């Protein structure tokens, strides 16, 4: 027989899996510290690439405008400003990424906890159904055996 409670729970879990579960559940594989470390490392590399592209674009614009002077003093000054901007850019970028992903992790952990709680409740429903089925089988088997024994006794006498 179909258990409506079980079907309802399974449908709810399937909707979660197909919807936000695809984005949220992989995050549940990581501990908080591991996830934050991963975000910082990824942000460092993506920030470095972004800064390099922006800096290359700046140099190309300066070359196109013939405004780039290539004497040793201006190159030292350009290098100094580039390193300073890079460090400042990376600090701001990593802090913003950390704040965003930390908040996402915290919110998604709550969703994952609720998902796991629903999975546990579904497992309890399955266990309860299995127990009821076994008890019905045992009771049916005992009832069947006792009837069979009574019938045999009547046939003997």
Do the domain assignments include residue 148?
yes
Do the domain assignments include residue 87?
yes
Do the domain assignments include residue 93?
yes
Do the domain assignments include residue 33?
yes
Which among 1, 36, 25, 8 is positioned nearest to 122, based on CA atoms? Answer: 8
Do the domain assignments include residue 131?
yes
- The segment with the largest mean pLDDT, out of 62-71, 76-85, 126-135, 148-157, is 76-85
Do the domain assignments include residue 140?
yes
Enclosing H/E stretch for 14: helix 4-18
Measure Cα distances from 90 to 5, 94, 95, 111, 124 in Å. 52, 6, 8, 31, 49
Q: Distance between CA 57 and CA 68 in Å, rounded?
A: 13
Q: N- to C-terminal Cα distance for the chain?
A: 41
Task: Note the pLDDT tens digit of each residue in 74-115.
Answer: 778 888 999 999 999 999 999 999 999 888 888 888 888 887
- The segment with the largest mean pLDDT, out of 14-18, 43-47, 55-59, 109-113, is 43-47
Number of domains forming the structure of the chain = 1
pLDDT beyond 90 at 7: no
Torsion angle (degrees, nearest 10) of CA 90, 93, 95, 96: 180
Q: How confident is the model at residue 57 (pLDDT cuts 50, 70, 90)?
A: very high
Of 37-51, 59-73, 102-116, minimum mean pLDDT range: 59-73
pLDDT beyond 80 at 54: yes
Do the domain assignments include residue 3?
no
Contact 47, 89 (CB under 8 A): yes
Do the domain assignments include residue 13?
yes
Q: Which of 86-120 are b and which e, b meaning 16 or more Cβ less than 10 Å from the residue's Cβ?
A: beebbeebbeebeeebeeebeebeebbeebeeeee
**Mean pLDDT across the stretch 17-38?**
76
Domain that residue 82 falls in: 9-156
pLDDT beyond 70 at 53: yes
């Amino acid at each position: 027989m179909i258990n409506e409670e079980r079907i309802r729970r399974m449908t709810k879990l399937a909707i979660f899996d197909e919807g936000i579960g695809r984005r949220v559940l992989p995050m549940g594989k990581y501990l908080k510290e591991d996830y934050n470390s991963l975000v910082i490392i990824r942000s460092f590399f993506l920030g470095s690439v972004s800064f390099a592209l922006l800096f290359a674009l700046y140099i190309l614009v300066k070359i196109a405008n013939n405004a780039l002077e290539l004497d040793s003093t201006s190159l030292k000054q350009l290098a100094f400003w580039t390193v300073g901007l890079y460090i400042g850019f990376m600090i701001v970028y990593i802090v913003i990424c950390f704040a965003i992903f930390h908040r996402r992790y915290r919110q998604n952990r709550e969703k994952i906890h609720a998902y796991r709680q629903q999975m546990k409740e579904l497992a309890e429903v399955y266990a309860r159904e299995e127990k009821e089925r076994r008890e019905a089988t045992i009771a049916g088997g005992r009832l069947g055996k006792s009837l069979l024994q009574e019938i045999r006794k009547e046939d003997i006498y």
